[in-house]
Amino acid sequence: TCSLLRSPKGFPKLKNDTFLRAARGEETEHTPVWCMRQAGRYLPEFRETRATQDFFATCRSPKLCCELTLQPLRRFPLDAAIIFSDILVVPQALGMEVVMVPGKGPTFTEPLKEVEDLLKLRQKVDVTAELGYVFQAITLTRHSLEGRVPLIGFSGAPWTLMSYMIEGGGSSTMAKAKSWLYRHPEASHRLLRLLADVITDYLVGQVAAGAQALQLFESHAGHLGPELFQDFALPYIRDIARAVKSKLKEEALPLVPMIIFAKDAHYALHDLAQAGYEVVGLDWTIRPQEARAQTGKNVTLQGNLDPCALYAPKEKIGELVKKMLEGFGTQRYIANLGHGLYPDMNPEHVGAFVEAVHAHSRHINKH
């Protein structure tokens, strides 16, 4: 189904809008559910499609991104699709080289070491020229979905991208990146500002291409404490929501719901709930009731089953889902995991999770 590149006009009519309704705080018959990394290595068909291709070459192929995005929907009655891509395409657009090293993960050939290295980055990025392949993948996938479910676009948030660009890859402490925040606060803000501007254009471009919701991943929030988060993460998270919405209005594009997912940032939940996003995503380290208390009544919550719960027997998964739904309530809520699916997970257990959310939330809503 991923063969024709069509224009972003005349998209098929949406048949299941449960996810969008929940995101906007409207009533739903069942709680919608999707999974972070639902297009991933836990699916044999994903490994097969990806086998011959370099990871970032796959990201640059609209046809392959479309195929990988659709694979989980052929297996599970998910309520949303999320475009297959990677957060590190943004540093690539700024002129940095990133390669996927087997067994190690994404690796920058020349990470930022000194403040002077900022001058090597593109200061003005034409997102259509640099990231047009993502926009094409979104348009193609939106047509190929045939209105089955909404399509989510996404980006990494500035601090998370900055940390990768300085660390050169994953890190357990983020000490190099955090040392910039303490030693070079002005240069850090310059870099974060540049990233926020590119991310804004990138997200607006995704909506123009057909994305029906947007998620911002602040995956490395947990490495910051309340002070650093307040100074170097939250202002940019807020700016992105504000700037994206004002540009969508200017360009007469749909005002799509936006989700902020700041992993391990419970200390900031109250602020995140007021940062301009319709949905706040949660990791598994917070109780549903506490999250509701801290975020108030005006945002939808998303999350937050421990991904490792999917290693449990299927009946146990059902019990955990029921408990989670009782904690959050079935309304103003989108079920998800507290982080992405892991590569060694059994697809049948993912199916059990999705079905349990639908069954239990329908039951709770009836009674």
Q: List pLDDT tens digits, range 188-227.
A: 999 999 999 999 999 999 999 999 999 999 999 999 999 9
Mean pLDDT of the chain: 97
Residue 23 lies in a domain: no
The domain that contains 177 carries what CATH number? 3.20.20.210
Q: pLDDT tier at 103 (50, 70, 90 boundaries)?
A: confident
- The predicted structure's pLDDT at residue 294: 97
CB of 237 closer than 8 Å to CB of 216 = yes
Catalytic annotation on 201?
no
Residue 114 lies in a domain: yes
Q: Which domain holds residue 118?
A: 28-366
H or E element at residue 279: strand 279-281
Mean pLDDT of 85-95: 98
Catalytic annotation on 75?
no
Tell me: pLDDT of 8 over 70.
no
Residue 18 lies in a domain: no
Catalytic annotation on 236?
no
Residue 22 lies in a domain: no
DSSP helix/strand/coil, 77? coil
Q: pLDDT tier at 338 (50, 70, 90 boundaries)?
A: very high
Cis peptide preceding 304, ω within 30 of 0: yes
Long-range contacts made by residues 15-18, C-beta under 8 angstroms, separation at least 24? Answer: 15/147, 15/148, 15/149, 16/79, 16/148, 16/149, 16/150, 17/150, 18/79
Tell me: pLDDT of 6 over 90.
no
Mean pLDDT of 35-49: 98
Tens digit of each residue's pLDDT (9 = 90 or more) over 50-83: 988 899 999 999 999 999 999 999 999 999 999 9
Q: Which of 41, 190, 193, 362 is catalytic?
A: 41
CA distance linking residue 291 with residue 280, whole number of Å: 10
DSSP helix/strand/coil, 322? helix
Tell me: pLDDT of 84 over 80.
yes
- The predicted structure's pLDDT at residue 2: 77
Q: Which of 17, 21, 37, 148 is catalytic?
A: 37
- The predicted structure's pLDDT at residue 52: 84
Catalytic annotation on 74?
no
Q: Which residue has the tokens 């991943």?
A: 217
Mean pLDDT of 294-314: 97
Catalytic annotation on 50?
yes
Q: Which of 17, 21, 42, 50 is catalytic?
A: 50
Tell me: pLDDT of 38 over 80.
yes
Residue 20 lies in a domain: no
Q: pLDDT tier at 102 (50, 70, 90 boundaries)?
A: confident
Q: Which of 86, 117, 231, 306 is catalytic?
A: 86
H or E element at residue 81: strand 81-82
Mean pLDDT of 79-99: 98
Mean pLDDT of 113-142: 98
DSSP letter for each residue of 114-157 = SGGGGGGS-SS--HHHHHHHHHHHHHHHHHHTTTSS-EEEEEE-
Q: Which of 79, 142, 148, 164 is catalytic?
A: 164
Burial zone of 216 (CB within 10 Å; 0-12 exposed, 13-18 middle, 19+ buried): buried
Residue 334 lies in a domain: yes
Residue 15 lies in a domain: no
Tell me: pLDDT of 4 over 70.
no
Q: Please give the tally of structural domains in the chain.
A: 1
Tens digit of each residue's pLDDT (9 = 90 or more) over 263-301: 999 999 999 999 999 999 999 999 999 999 999 999 999
Residue 307 lies in a domain: yes
Tell me: pLDDT of 127 over 90.
yes
- Whole-structure pTM value: 0.98
